[in-house]
Amino acid sequence: MTGRPLIVTMGDPAGVGPEIIAKAWPILATPPGPLAPVTPFAVIGDADVLSARGAKVERIFAPSDAVAVFGRAIPVLHAPAPAPVTPGQPDPRNAPAVADWIERAVDLTLSGEACGVVTAPIAKAPMYASGFRFPGHTEFIAELTADMPFNGTRGPVMMLTAKDLRACLVTIHVAIDQLPELVTAERVMRVARVVHESMKRDFGIAAPRLALAALNPHAGEGGAIGLQEIDVLRPAAAALRAEGLNITDPLPADTLFHEEARARYDATVCLYHDQALIPVKTLDFWGGVNATLGLPIVRTSPDHGTGFDIAGKGIARADSFIAAVRLASEMAVARATR
């Protein structure tokens, strides 16, 4: 227990964010259940939208109020959506408020009033229509924290986690044909440093073991089916080991994620989106979590989108949100006890 709450942002109020928050709270607020969080959370967003999704809410005026309230209701730092909210129908007029909720959550965490941020999903189209200029949460939060001191290699690095797998990405949303140009030794080494430091800082692992995924099938098979392993990845891994990191040479991705292989490392450095996301979603499709490493604050998110097609129907599953709260709680405690 850190003594400070997490801050949950509502995400797009027309999406499933309010619904999964409402469904998760009774589970997370009931100790000593196995899913009870280490610390409570407060929501930044529209309290009336949460109430309309069946949540028991109580408005608060400071994050410090959340600890006392959390056992009986969802504490909400009320910030109304400017336009009416209809489930499944995003409105760009609400997008500035969505961005403001994120910015306020980050500010409260940077100030020490909260111990971390959990972000419910946002959608790019309504955000872009309002002038939002970032690809998503990760880049926005990275900029919001860019001027804050940070003792370590700065990210952001996206990590997807499910069960005992932590898969960290060198590239994210890029076309496959761009990978040979984008997977550079510098990028791989920076991501590996961020992951190594985060395993210590955020997960309490004193001597992290990292696995590096290869880009080509069979790790290039000695250059027969690709030279990136020889020209880029092996030299990068050797340089990292010279710095003191415990990281493998590039390993074939098709044998990197089964149970016995996962027991040999604490995190894996993956080179592109599907290389990380396919094993994560196969291991736990409903419970995967997105975490941002290498920032001055803890930030996690459920690993799914806004679900406009099912919003308001009462069928959205809260598994991933629950796991995101749990992970953020654990990371915040690890940081507080270092």
pLDDT (tens digit, 9 = 90+) per residue, 67-85?
999 999 999 999 999 999 9
Q: Is 34's pLDDT higher than 60?
A: no
Confidence of residue 96 (pLDDT cuts 50, 70, 90): very high
Q: What is the pLDDT of residue 337?
A: 87
Q: Is 3's pLDDT higher than 90?
A: no
Could you report how far apart the first and last alpha carbons of the chain are, in Å?
A: 14
Please return the burial class of 35, using the count of CB atoms within 10 Å of its CB with bins 0-12, 13-18 and 19+: middle
Q: What residues contact residue 222 under an 8 Å CB cut-off, 6+ apart?
A: 230
Confidence of residue 2 (pLDDT cuts 50, 70, 90): low
Distances 105 to 102, 201, 294 between C-alpha atoms, Å: 5, 21, 18
pLDDT (tens digit, 9 = 90+) per residue, 150-177?
999 999 999 999 999 999 999 998 999 9
Q: Give pTM, 2 decimals.
A: 0.95
> What's the CA dihedral at 216, 218, 221, 225 to 10 degrees?
-40
pLDDT (tens digit, 9 = 90+) per residue, 252-311?
999 999 999 999 999 999 999 999 999 999 999 999 999 999 999 999 999 999 999 999
